[in-house]
Structure 1
């Protein structure tokens, strides 16, 4: 099961490449909180949470700050304990990434990664265990695996839309593609939600997908101005998982 739990959460954030959009009032903001149940096949494996933190500064410039956590629960915790944390910082308009951190703790596996984006040089620097591991040339605007989710939520969705954007984990930089396939009703912890089903083209992504020619990934976003990610479902070489929204708290508007 090593890396599967974090993969479930990362897929939510990798799931939807996007274009930048001119939106003076994005549907997210400080105070927004989303809570998910994670299932591996039919097993309730744990929970995840996604928070839009208070705006802050990164290297002296105003920045958006996003935080995600995932953890096992119940009997799963007894034999394979997971405590994963991800953080992302972007410019205030969420047009490009500034920094990304991942603290992965799964069973006996532990790894800390930090990804720093140099906007002026169009480069990124990936650190592992505090040491520089990769330097990579980047396109002008690129997102990390987490901030891409919020960039996508700036878009007004409709059936038939196609998207592409630059996404990088610091080792590789790819142009991801996504397709809005249909509109469906999704059962969630906050009730039945009308949502758009989005399919991700994942052939360029590594990890568990590399082992399966028939890997599939779908994400459902609420069909309203909030564009909340309410569900994720994937089938890969090692089975399938799903994440379903359990609770939602809107951003504080002041």
Structure 2
């Protein structure tokens, strides 16, 4: 496959936001691009349950798709999907998809697309990167809405998560990165606070706890004076996001990893 350029309740907004925490909110978590080995590949799939306060309200999946091309250049492809559970579907159905493409070494973004379907609301966005001229172009339903100057190395809200996973973490580590959603560009900050062992359906997983700076995030975060956003990454070479937790004025929402499928090449190795 070759790609070529071409009003809701606050609780529902929190539900939808809880999915994009694994991507859009994680835009704050990418350190400088002194990359090491890439711990992911096509076939990797991470499945999460979304909880608002103590209620299981939805599910999310992050996966690495087969390598492809963007405007003739080799590219990596990442996808995220989110959906509400059946009982929530009855009054507010969510079916969201995000796709992102980067260069093979995941050093900068090439393309980002989102397809939001939330209740009666729907929107398709397309963010096209022009690294050579350091610009991005944001289209909504095919119409150009924003054009921005960008740094040489900049990521979209999805690919930045995978760029982060290339780094070796350690306690007290602090970092920042250039990220854009096509409307604004920011330099976000994050801090590796400590290590913890989390209990999961797959057993106990040692993790690094990372605190993300939410002072510049819009919406409900800005309205919450004591808001916080924490992410736990597995303390191994894979740096899998195991848990995402946020505290805001209307309560807590959490993503919990419930299933992990390794890249296809590792599955083949293990089968042999």
Normalised-by-shorter TM-score class: over 0.9
Q: Gapped runs of 5+ residues in structure 2? A: 1-10
RMSD after superposition: 1.2
In structure 1, how many angstroms separate the alpha carbons of the residues matched to 2:54 and 2:12?
Answer: 18
- Alpha-carbon distance in structure 2 between the residues aligned to 1:237 and 1:124: 33
CA deviations on 1:196-228 (whole Å, 9 max, x unpaired) are: 000001111223212222211000000001110
Corresponding residue for 1:133? 145
Residue 20, structure 1, aligned to residue 33, structure 2: yes
Q: Deviations over 1:224-249 (max 9, x none)?
A: 01110000000123322000000001
Post-superposition CA distance 1:106-165 (Å, at most 9, x none): 111111111111101111111111100001111111011111100000001111101110
Instruction: Give the aligned length.
Output: 253
Match of residue 204, structure 2, among 192, 203, 206: 192
Contact 1:3 1:106 (C-alpha < 8 Å) held by counterparts: no
Aligned to 1:61: 73
Deviating beyond 2 angstroms after TM superposition, the runs of 4 or more aligned structure 1 residues are 1-6
Aligned to 1:7: 17
Most deviating of 91-100 and 185-194: 185-194
TM-score of the pair, normalised by structure 1: 0.96
| SS of 1:54 mapped into structure 2 | strand
Q: Normalising to structure 2: TM-score of the pair?
A: 0.90
Q: Which residue does the alignment assign to 2:136?
A: 124
Q: Which runs of 5+ in 1 are unaligned?
A: none
2:15 and 2:253 in contact (8 A); partners too: no
Instruction: Please report how far the alpha carbon of residue 17 of structure 1 lies from its aligned counterpart in structure 2 after TM superposition.
Output: 2.6
